[in-house]
Structure 1
Amino acid sequence: MPHSPMPTRDSLREVRYDIRGELSRRARELEGQGRHLIRLNIGNPGAFGFRAPEHLQQALSGNVADSDAYTHQQGLPLAREAVAAAHRGRGTPNACAERVFVGNGVSELIDMSLRALLNPGDEVLLPSPDYPLWSAATILNQGRPVYYRCAPENGFLPDPDEIEALVTPRTRALVVINPNNPTGANYPPALLQRLVDIAARHGLLLMADEIYDGITYEDAVFTPLAPLAGDVPCLSFGGLSKVWRACGWRVGWAVLSGDPLRVGDFHHALDLLSAMRLCANVPGQFAVPAALQGPETIRALTLPGGRLFESRQAVIDGCAASEHLSVVAPMGALYAFPQVVGPAADGFDDQAFALDLLENEDVLVVPGSGFNVPGSRHFRITLLPEAPVVREVFERIDRVLAARVGQRKRHVA
């Protein structure tokens, strides 16, 4: 007897994650046919030859024998204390181990925190462009994403007045991604203070995605949000994936700050949800003190002459040399968000462009619309390949865009 297809959750139809979506599946098919692709869709340092620092590897491998048992639901005490100490060092108020939650990457903690916060129909203020996990987690936890613009003409920085105009009685949280994925924007202290003031006036939880906090370029300086927030409830996210190049270890953390009386119930909710998933990956947590208390290793990559800096410069140069592209120079994180301009932008479809680039030039990028940007003329690439590879990529991108302009001219003629 035939059966109808199994039903799935309705809200999944509203969720997109183009970073690993249909284009990535098509890329796997092409690789199965023997094609060699340049994958620029994921900020995955290990896939580009980066390794976690040696002292982190030793901390993990040296403690495997002590990793068989579940640990505390909020994380290993030594890991949580190391995170708390690092946050105290940068001015986070009331930073202590009891306010630290360790998760299987920041992704799990984002989902857990929104599950602890939201009732059906509650609203979360998110940047556009956003990192799409934030939108997905909001929707799947029965909330509603409300987007504030981060426009390229403003350096991808938001307008606080526009953000405040979006606040309603249902607004529960304001999400700040700094340094930003996908744009590379780095938020100045004065802007962050205005965002804190908005949260204070309207009783919002600040959610600070700071996973790229150690990755800045040129004269950019990262400013953490929690010290500015003071008594305003703030949840700050960090982890080993990016600054310490250990994505596969799946170790992230969240630090809850603000008035203890205001955040008490939320803390208990996070603790309950942490207990229900038992605990996060234990071996990787032994590397947290080594990361936060050991030698700094990222700046050699982001300073002039460093691999990330030079790849970033190759993106800037590639866009400057093209009549079809512009870019706001990324000041932080591992990405750039170029924009298609001029005749190539006429009738531009970012999904069709990305597929064309994949099929004809063996390059995989993420269309800007995948970051909840309506009418996008953008695409995101990672800065992780070496500079010569990035230069080659932009030659291929220019060929695709030039061909599209030529096709359009012939069609008009």
Structure 2
Amino acid sequence: MVIINPGNPCGSVFTYEHLSKIANTAKKLGIFVIADEVYGHLTFGNTPFVPMGAFGQIVPVLTLGSISKRWMVPGWRLGWMVICDSNGVLKETKIVESIESFLNISTDPATFIQGAIPSIIENTKDDFFNKIVDLLRKTSSICYDKIKEIDCITCPHKPDGSMFVMVKINLGYLEDIADCIDFSCKLAKEESVITMPGRALGLENWLRITFAIDPASLEIGLDRMKSFCERHAKVM
């Protein structure tokens, strides 16, 4: 069972109770849990982040982490895996051995990234991470509030983590927009604002918006999106 917590693209953060149910369900089914927690340090809502490894006594957990998200260095594809398995199931079934064997034959990250890691980990101060979380807390609120001003777009849930949010397009409000891809293409051409069509993520007529940007630029971009929607609105 694979879970992504905090979630991309919705910015959701699972509660302790929800994660406990996941662990017990996986135990009942006789499977282990792969927990993608690359956004684990980027939470800013009311729900605190709980690592899935806390349930390692119930079910084996393989946790994935990444330097590119916490340190905000997109493209630095270097991460880690942590096994939380109090009962030794993954070791007994040689899953750990298989993972280690695969790592020995896989392509390594770029050497300059490997060389930078010790210094980055040792010398990054807590205020660096605090500033990132404070910024995302502020911009997530801006994004959520500004989207509420756009009639044809709905944000069903204010993000509690990560740096993205999914919003729903109501095509019934728009005159000449066929789908989410058409919306994104025309928005980029007319307003120089880039969004990801939901179809790329399996959600037809949704958009993924990132709020990992300085507040002023985010407000400008969302104002442009509002102008775009008003310009393409159906005449009622």
TM range (shorter): 0.7 to 0.9
- 1:340 partnered with 2:164: no
Name the SS of the counterpart of 1:363 in structure 2. coil
The CA distance in 2 between the partners of 1:266 and 1:252, in whole Å, is 19
Give every structure 1 segment of 4 or more consecutive aligned residues whose post-TM-superposition deviation is greater than 6 Å: none
Matching of residue 183 in structure 1 with residue 10 in structure 2: yes
Per-residue displacement from partner, 1:139-187 (whole Å, max 9, x unpaired)? xxxxxxxxxxxxxxxxxxxxxxxxxxxxxxxxxxx11111110000011
Number of the residue aligned with 1:394: 222
C-alpha change, 1:284 and 1:343, in structure 2 (3 Å) is same
Residue 353 of structure 1, CA deviation: 0.6
Return the structure number with greater relative CO, CA threshold 8 A, min gap 6.
1
CA distance in 2, matches of 1:208, 1:292: 26
CA apart distance, 1:266:
1.1
Amino acid of the structure 2 residue aligned with 1:331: D
Opposite residue 275 of structure 1, the aligned amino acid is N
- 1:238–1:254 Cα contact (<8 Å) kept: yes
Change (3 A) 1:345 1:371: farther
- One of 310, 318, 325 as aligned partner of 2:153: 325
List gaps (5 residues or longer) in structure 2: none
What residue in structure 2 maps to residue 352 of structure 1?
A: 182
Residue 233 of structure 2 corresponds to which residue in structure 1? 405
For residue 267 of structure 1, the aligned residue among 90, 96, 99 is 96
Paired with 2:181 and 2:119, the residues of 1 have a C-alpha distance of 42
| AA matched with 1:276 | I
- Percent identical among aligned pairs is 20
Which of 105, 128, 139 is residue 311 of structure 1 equivalent to?
A: 139
Q: CA deviation at 1:277?
A: 2.1
Give the secondary-structure state (helix, strand or coil) at the position aligned to 1:238.
Answer: strand
Q: Could you list the runs of 5+ residues in structure 1 that have no partner in the other structure? A: 1-173
User: How many residues are matched?
Assistant: 230
State the Cα deviation string for residues 336-361 of structure 1 (Å, max 9, x = none): 11222484279851111111111111
Whether contact under 8 Å (1:345, 1:377) holds in the other structure is no
Find the residue that maps to 1:364 and give its secondary structure: coil
Q: Tell me the secondary structure at the aligned position of residue 256 of structure 1.
A: strand
Equivalent in 18, 25, 43 of residue 216 of structure 1: 43
Aligned partner letter, 2:164? Y
| In structure 2, C-alpha distance between the alignment counterparts of 1:315 and 1:272, rounded to whole Å | 44
Report SS of the residue matched to 1:337: strand
The answer to whether the 8 Å contact 2:168/2:206 transfers is yes
Q: Aligned equivalents of 1:285 and 1:178: distance in 2?
A: 26
CA distance in 1, matches of 2:118, 2:210: 25
Instruction: Give the Cα separation in 2 of the matches to 1:185 and 1:240.
Output: 20
Which residue is equivalent to 2:130? 299
Could you list the per-position Cα deviations for residues 44-74 of structure 1 after superposition, in whole angstroms to 9, with x for gaps in the alignment? xxxxxxxxxxxxxxxxxxxxxxxxxxxxxxx
Query: How many angstroms apart in 2 are the aligned matches of 1:245 and 1:388?
Result: 19
- The alignment's C-alpha RMSD in Å is 2.5
Question: What whole-Å deviation, never above 9, does each CA across 1:355-397 have from its counterpart, x for those lacking one?
Answer: 1111111111101121112xx2320111122112111111221
Correspondence 1:10-409 to 2 at 5 A? 174-258=1-85, 259-264=87-92, 265-277=94-106, 279-285=108-114, 287=117, 291=121, 295-296=125-126, 297-303=128-134, 307-327=135-155, 328-341=157-170, 343-344=172-173, 349-373=179-203, 376-406=204-234, 409=235
Whether the 8 Å contact between 1:365 and 1:381 is mirrored in structure 2 is yes
**Distance of 1:354 and 1:227 partners within structure 2:** 40
**Displacement of 1:255 after TM fit?**
1.0
Partner Cα distance (1:293, 1:177) in 2: 29
Q: Rate the CA distance shift 1:261–1:204 in 2: closer, same or farther, 3 A.
A: closer
Secondary structure of 1:298's aligned partner = helix
**Pair 278,368 (structure 1): closer, same or farther in 2 beyond 3 Å:** closer
- Give the residue type in structure 2 aligned to 1:334: M
Indicate if the aligned counterparts of 2:23 and 2:58 stay in contact, CA closer than 8 A.
Answer: no
What TM-score does the superposition give when structure 2 sets the normalisation length?
0.86
CA distance, structure 2, for counterparts of residue 244 and residue 313 of structure 1? 22
Asked if the contact 2:10–2:165 (Cα under 8 Å) also holds between the matched residues in 1, the reply is yes
